[in-house]
């Protein structure tokens, strides 16, 4: 897929956001549907299997930007989902035997409090590389120890102010 945001008409980036990676399902992810659908097309059952797989392939996009992850799906309608890197809790990737042979797999993204996979990039090329790219951005989005110390200092200062007020009243 193209890394040009202009070709992704459904994607609107913020001014400070840049496109880092985009793709759709790997073209070889159609192989299982073709393997089942072509023999069954003799009895007309296989045609919907092939058509469904092709429509999913052509109408699905995955994007990684500097601000988060996007997934676009939908044949007749459009569903766009975004997750910011600050919300990502865990990532994982998996490959079936066919996916390993042809070089595609799934990347699962879990968010804090979701209790499972919040977003799945299905059948993407080189899923290990995609997972590593996402993990690097998640790590960059995490606040450092300095940010945590600043927050704790602010909380401590607020508690001292409350204590001083209570002692003055009592």
Per-residue pLDDT of the chain (170 residues; tens, 9 = 90+): 445 555 677 888 888 888 999 999 998 898 888 888 888 877 788 888 889 899 999 999 999 999 999 999 998 889 999 999 989 999 999 999 999 999 999 999 999 877 788 999 999 999 999 999 999 999 888 766 556 677 788 888 899 999 888 888 86
Give dist(CA 83, CA 58) in Å, integer. 22
Domain-located, residue 151: yes
Report pLDDT for 165: 87
The domain spanning residue 152 has which CATH number? Answer: 2.30.29.30
Task: Judge whether 134 lies within some domain.
Answer: yes
Give the domain extent around 122.
5-25+60-169
Residue 167 CA to residue 49 CA, distance in Å, equals 74
- Find the distance separating the first CA and the last CA of the chain, reported in whole Å: 68
For residue 76, being part of any structural domain is answered with: yes
The answer as to whether 32 is a domain residue is no
Query: Would 73 be classed as within a structural domain?
Result: yes
Contact between residue 120 and residue 98 where contact means Cβ atoms under 8 Å apart: no
Among candidate residues 125, 97, 122, the one with its CA nearest the CA of residue 108: 122
The number of domains in the chain is 1
| Residue 33 forms part of a structural domain | no
- Evaluate whether residue 49 is within a structural domain: no
pLDDT on residue 44: 82
Model pLDDT, residue 6: 53
Residue 75 has a pLDDT of 86
Instruction: Report yes or no on 160 lying in a domain.
Output: yes
Please answer whether residues 89 and 110 qualify as being in contact, where contact means their C-beta atoms are separated by less than 8 angstroms: yes
SS3 at position 71 = strand
Say if CB 137 and CB 89 are below 8 A apart.
Answer: no
């Amino acid at each position: 897929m193209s890394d040009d945001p202009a070709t992704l008409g459904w994607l609107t980036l913020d001014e400070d956001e840049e496109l880092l990676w985009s793709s759709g399902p790997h073209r070889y992810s159609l192989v299982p549907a073709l393997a089942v659908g072509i023999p069954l097309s003799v009895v007309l059952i296989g045609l919907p299997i092939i058509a469904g797989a092709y429509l999913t392939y052509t109408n699905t996009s995955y994007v990684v930007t500097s601000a988060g992850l996007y997934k676009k799906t939908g044949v007749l309608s459009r569903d766009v989902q975004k997750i910011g890197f600050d919300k990502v809790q865990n990532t994982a990737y998996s490959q079936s035997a066919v996916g390993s042979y042809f070089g595609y797999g799934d990347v699962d993204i879990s968010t804090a409090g979701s209790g499972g996979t919040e977003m799945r990039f299905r059948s993407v090329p080189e899923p290990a590389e995609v997972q590593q790219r996402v993990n690097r951005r998640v790590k960059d989005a995490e606040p450092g120890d300095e940010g945590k110390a600043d927050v704790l200092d602010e909380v401590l200062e607020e508690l001292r102010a409350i204590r001083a007020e209570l002692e003055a009243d009592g």
